Chain A
Amino acid sequence: MTMTLQANNVTFTYRGRHGAPVLQNISLTIQSGERVGLKAPSGRGKTTLCRLLAGYERPQSGQVLLDGKPVCGMRGVCPVQMMWQHPETVVDPLLRLGVTLSESGPVDRRLLEELHIEDGWMERFPAELSGGELQRFCLARALNPATRFLLCDEISAMLDLVTQAQIWSFLIREAERRDLGLLIVSHSDSLLEQVCTRIETLPV
């Protein structure tokens, strides 16, 4: 079943910063199965757009809709999940990784194997894993069975090239298998060209 994630003319200003909105009248549509690349100079609100699409923030005007329903305020596991640039901030530093992963319910064995997540990690704390390992771990958590859209905000920007290639080859396979819609933010044009089915540029 094809689903649509849509931002309609959204405008967003951070509280306390009067005047210039970060995003003004931006529209973007992602269908399931699409891998949309997002390009814009830094400081133009790519991350903010991801946060809006994932429902972390509410736009001042305009709407973010998933199949016609607002994303913000959905109960249960949100079908739109976001991946962040720094995986070490997205896992509780004081919890064993097994506990963190269990927040996403029971995770498919196949997923763990494909991401090369070892059983031993479940007993460890985040500080004991490298950035690349944590990012793979966060992927396993974000790819909950209910997830239909994944927003990837510079997820491989801090990783070495080998790990970057590992993650993207997995994500492309997984997105095709599950008909996921991906939004990919990256500063690297060559990466976007390799990964995406369509590339959008944020208007300045």
Chain B
Amino acid sequence: MQPILEIEHMSIHFTQYAKGTRRRELPVIKDLSLQIAPGQVVAVVGASGSGKSLLAHGILHILPRNSHMEGRILYDGSELTDKRAAKLRGREIVLVPQGVTYLDPLMKVGDQVRGEDAAPDAAQRARKALTRYGLAPETEELYPFELSGGMARRVLIATAVTHEPRLIIADEPTPGLDAKAAARILGHFRELAEGGAGVLLITHDLELALTIADQVAVFYAGQTIEVASAADFADPANLRHPFTRALWRAMPEHGFQPIEGAQPYPGTLAAGCPFAGQCDRSTPQCREAADLPLRSWQGGMVRCLNPRREE
């Protein structure tokens, strides 16, 4: 099937002022490739602060002014330019942002869900969207501060889906929610995918992502180091990259074992595999290799010199 979204070798840099008027380039995302087919949920999993949100902003072409993006984004088979993104976002491509702070605190929920839509059936459509997520018509009369965390999340989803989008980007939809509420919110995204939309789920929570995702892309120091199907996570032997396996073993139900060290900053990497510092199997080649490519390996993708199966 034709993928709804294809990202090819996307990189995002920031231009920042260091001291005085000197400027420096700060790479945040490096060589990211991704595909989403209609009806699929693809999760991008990475540590907080690793620039995952910028991925969403990059796709929507709403990056801050001091950043720039390289690579290619194809939507529905043809290139997603600035102009096209501006036309499609909010309609065919929607963002479900992180939390209540994205709602206008001085506007009633009903008005926010309706948005700028002036069509005569807008009010009805908004109500339908709210009811779909278990929000009573009274919710329309509430202000954002009167909503609980879970309700606010559902309002944000309702706002996003009033126009029957084909691509939904969800940026950290679950923090602050208890397990039950989080599962319910994620269930809504699964439903949307069953309805034929592509869902890109950006999160730091691998455990929750695994409950609904078809594919998982693991982010490490600004790079995708592995793309695996969710089923691969049933057994660590199926995982390709040593960091993914470390993540698996660090899950509370799988032993809760940490590995030493921390992720390097995207900007500090000169050459070599970013994970080499934490990897128990790194070789001198790993530290020297320039530009490791993301390559196909046993039904998934991996960015590693010797992605062996675990014995």
Contacts and interface: CB of A to CB of B under 8 A. Distances in A.
Nearest to B176: A42
B48 interface: yes
Contact of B47 (A42, A85, A160, A188): A160
Nearest to B146: A17
A99 interface: no
Contacts of A190: 207, 251-253
B247 A162 contact: yes
Contact of A166 (B46, B206, B252, B258): B258
Contact of A42 (B177, B250, B253): B177
B47 A159 contact: yes
A169 B150 contact: no
A91 to B, nearest CB: 14
Contacts of B246: 162
B256 interface: yes
Interface in B247-297: 247, 250-253, 256-263, 265
Interface string B43-58: 0011111100000000
B48 A131 contact: yes
Contacts of A191: 252
B150 A165 contact: no
B7 to A, nearest CB: 22
Main secondary structure of the interface of B (DSSP, over half): loop
B175 A160 contact: no
Contact of B46 (A160, A169, A188, A189): A160
A159 B205 CA distance: 8
A50 B32 CA distance: 40
Nearest to B278: A162
A160 B204 contact: yes
A139 to B, nearest CB: 14
B258 A162 contact: yes
Which one of A133, A154, A163 has the greatest number of beta carbons of chain B within 10 Å?
A163
A194 interface: yes
A165 B262 contact: no
Given A41-B181, A187-B182, A163 B262 contact: yes
Nearest to B47: A160
A146 interface: no
Given A165-B250, A169-B256, A133 B177 contact: no
A26 interface: no
B150 A160 contact: no
B24 to A, nearest CB: 12
Contact of B49 (A40, A131, A161): A131
A67 B245 CA distance: 45
A169 to B, nearest CB: 6
A92 interface: no
Contact of A162 (B177, B182, B259, B265): B259
Given A43-B149, A133-B262, A157 B175 contact: yes
A42 B181 contact: yes
B179 interface: yes
B244 to A, nearest CB: 10
Contacts of A90: none
Contacts of B149: 42-43
A64 B263 CA distance: 40
A164 interface: yes
B258 A41 contact: no
Contacts of B206: 160-161
A126 to B, nearest CB: 11
Which one of A130, A161, A193 has the greatest number of beta carbons of chain B within 10 Å?
A161
Contacts of B83: none
A161 B178 contact: no
A95 interface: no
B180 interface: yes
Interface string A180-204: 0000000111110110000000000
Nearest to A170: B258
Contacts of B265: 130
B148 interface: yes
Nearest to A167: B258
Interface of B: 45-50, 148-150, 175-182, 204, 206-207, 243, 246-247, 250-253, 256-263, 265
Given A42-B149, A160-B47, 19 more contacts: A42-B178, A42-B181, A116-B261, A130-B262, A159-B48, A159-B204, A160-B45, A160-B48, A160-B204, A161-B250, A162-B258, A162-B259, A163-B258, A163-B262, A165-B252, A166-B258, A168-B256, A190-B207, A190-B252
